[in-house]
Structure 1
């Protein structure tokens, strides 16, 4: 999608001008696309100003579905973002989408254990079928994505007394059919049920991570209406800390062996963390779920 971008300085000046002019203490920004250069210019400045709510567009917890939509991220990176948002008190507004051509029942079956492990984090606002929007890859090349019969949403006929060709030119939202006959709800039913429970519950306790110079790491798990503590010292603490961000299994093993463990010891520990829902994994990637308390500061190392 082509777009015009304001300079970071102009954006900051305009936000400052509007908040002063109208006596605002909060401001929200919306658009269809974000200049990726803002990640090193504008966004750090806004974060320092106190951003408390974002809409990150996570949209799935399946690597395969994320690849189908060419999202450019992974399941564990999405969960990592939710974890760090919880640490810093940032609300993440996101949705789970389903109905992508090419998705499978296994894509959604693999989400269920992840949802069980992560339901103490910010739940999605909802779970909805995908929509075909103008300017999206789906709209530009629908056949490539297994979409046929692309047409303006039916509501446009109620809004505008124009012929079909005119509606095609002005419509932004479109209906479509699946080339293979799939229906949007064919695979997502069990996950929808689980997500509804997550939303209704609004969070399932927490998994707090406390660091102490004499005690190593202490995890306090208050999920499922109970409280359980785990103390990690030595190489176990080193491995868990290494997995604060998405980490390849070989790197996690290296962190443990460097601190005195065997590779077999580390793999056994990782499996135990997975069983206890202290970590999650996809393929050979691992992520520790503990939320640091108190939150790290700029004086700390990177997350």
Structure 2
């Protein structure tokens, strides 16, 4: 059922089960009938079939709608650009964490670096990304939150999370139906229900949708999560929301022939500018998406030995321009211009990256 949100000039509509023609017709009708270009699609998740069907049709139609969708965070760059060209301007990606270990516990099917690369691409294209960091998963390692806290100063040029929040136990979720299997105990209606309904615990247990819980091992996640929350608050939210837009930190990359020029205004920048050339520039462009060390050493084996590739990567990490996570490497700068194949004069794999205008 479509709805109009009084707090935002948008219309909500569920398109998940609609066919291509019907989905397009509904968007066209809503936009023209209510004079709104911003439309929030309330499907639980974007139907990936729409990437190569609905969104190219929207692009070619000239309808000019601006869509919001909930999406998976493992989108490829070419998928995201297709969505953007078709009108995608806001997403709620299933980021939830930047820790590989915690993402595996969630069974998310993505990695921490994939989540970071999505935020980089959104910054490049101009897509608003509203996401959360969830905490308190059963059997998680407290040290993972220290690792994430160390990432915050490196990522402060990207959009911050909306909240850093404990997981919520909902009725019918796996954590609810198999709570003992996940090490959750004393599952009970959330305390706020007692202030709303004049009922006892037994009755509320049948009525409630949200539940409080304890951990079987007695852990208190707040004791090891607070440092991450403080880092996000001081070094991310504050620099984004408590100072002018133009004062937000930036880490921007511009291609100049075979070189890459980078400007860095982050508080912990090693230098305000960098010029990458040769192997360093090629590796930086290749790590626009996360790459393993072994694949990079194979790919660049004709121009550099394995030790040289590793040394170049370590130099980029030392300059705080790149991050490594579990043997995967990712460039951090937002690409404001991309290399064209003609510029590079090469059939190298990264030479086929589509040229994009500066944001």
Contact 2:280 2:316 in 1 (8 A): no
Q: 1:33 to 1:238 in 2, by over 3 A?
A: closer
Contact 2:55 2:86 in 1 (8 A): no
- How far did 1:29 drift? 2.1
Q: Secondary structure at the match of 2:217?
A: coil
Q: Secondary structure at the match of 1:261?
A: coil
Distance 1:150 1:40 in 2: 44
| Structure 2, unpaired ranges of 5+ | 1-15, 59-66, 68-82, 241-246, 343-351
Structure number with the bigger relative contact order (C-alpha 8 A, sep ≥ 6) is 1
Q: TM-score w.r.t. structure 2 length?
A: 0.75
Distance 1:164 1:16 in 2: 49
Q: Within 5 Å, which residues of 2 pair with 1:1-303? A: 5-42=17-54, 47=83, 48-162=85-199, 164-197=201-234, 198-202=236-240, 204-213=248-257, 215-224=258-267, 228-258=272-302, 260-294=303-337, 301=353
Aligned counterpart, 2:71: none
- How far did 1:20 drift? 1.2
* Runs of 4+ deviating beyond 6 Å: none
Q: 1:112 to 1:218 in 2, by over 3 A?
A: same
Query: Structure 1 stretch 156-165 or stretch 179-188: which is displaced more?
Result: 156-165
Contact 1:88 1:295 in 2 (8 A): no
Q: 1:34 to 1:26 in 2, by over 3 A?
A: closer
| Structure 1, unpaired ranges of 5+ | none
Q: 1:165 to 1:10 in 2, by over 3 A?
A: farther
